[in-house]
Amino acid sequence: MATEDHVDQPAADQPEEGVRRRDFLNVAAVSVAGVGGVIAILPLVNQMNPDADVLALASIDVDLSAVEPGQTIKTSWRKQPLFIRHLTEDEIAEARAVDVSALRDPQTLEERTAEGYEQWLISLAVCTHLGCIPLGAAPGENKGEFGGYFCPCHGSHYDTAGRIRKGPAPTNLVVPEYAFTSDTTVTIG
């Protein structure tokens, strides 16, 4: 190409070998454009994260005064169902009697409840297998082989501390962050 030949000839003051001024400018310009392009992608990705009004719903207060021992209430936190279970003495004893080291996801009842409020088992009602709501909250529902919860989708059994005992779920029911603001009210999230 006649055109190419004379345009591509290095000017007399440029070295034939090594890094030419043009190489430097080329790499610098393409790098700046590349970095800029990547940074421009960040807001396009970030816009899909939970937005401010979703995060504003991230904390709820629940009044527990009407929940009798043996009763479980279902509420909603961050648009996810939540179990709040008032454990009976028997259920607490049962949970404490388990050999923790034999569990799939070893945790004691104390680790899964607030200090001084061991009778309140607060966990997400979301099976850690694939996200169904386990049974066992309402009276008459199947509580599974270990008296806690039973997920009908794929047969995961949870005990009275919400720990996985049998079935495909990999971990215990998730305990959210919460704090008791009085003996009968709890702030979740």
**Residue from 29, 35, 138, 179 binding other proteins (CB under 8 A):** 29
Task: Identify whether the C-beta of residue 119 lies closer than 8 Å to the C-beta of residue 171.
Answer: no
**Where do runs of H (alpha helix) occur along the chain?**
2-8, 21-46, 52-55, 89-96
Residue for token pair 């996985």: 164
- The minimum distance between CB 40 and other proteins, in angstroms, equals 9
Residue with smaller CB distance to other proteins, 26 or 76: 26
What are the φ and ψ backbone dihedral angles of 28, each rounded to 5 degrees?
-65, -45
- The minimum distance between CB 22 and other proteins, in angstroms, equals 10
Residue with smaller CB distance to other proteins, 23 or 89: 23
What are the φ and ψ backbone dihedral angles of 49, each rounded to 5 degrees?
-70, 160
**Residue from 15, 17, 38, 46 binding other proteins (CB under 8 A):** 46
Residues 6+ apart with CB under 8 A from 182: none
Has 157 been annotated as catalytic? no
43 interacts with other proteins by CB under 8 A: yes
Cα–Cα–Cα angle for 71, 77, 81, nearest 5°?
55
Count the residues of the shown chain that bind other proteins, applying the rule CB under 8 A. Answer: 21
CA distance 97 to 91: 10
53 interacts with other proteins by CB under 8 A: yes
Q: How many residues does the chain have?
A: 189
Residue with smaller CB distance to other proteins, 11 or 38: 11
* Binding map of other proteins across residues 143-182, x = CB under 8 A, - = no contact: ----------------------------------------
Q: Which two tokens stand for residue 161?
A: 């501390």
- The minimum distance between CB 19 and other proteins, in angstroms, equals 18
DSSP-assigned letters across all residues of 132-147 = PPPB-SSTTS--TTTE
Exactly one of 6, 86, 129, 154 is catalytic; name it.
154
- The minimum distance between CB 97 and other proteins, in angstroms, equals 48
Cite the active site residues: 154
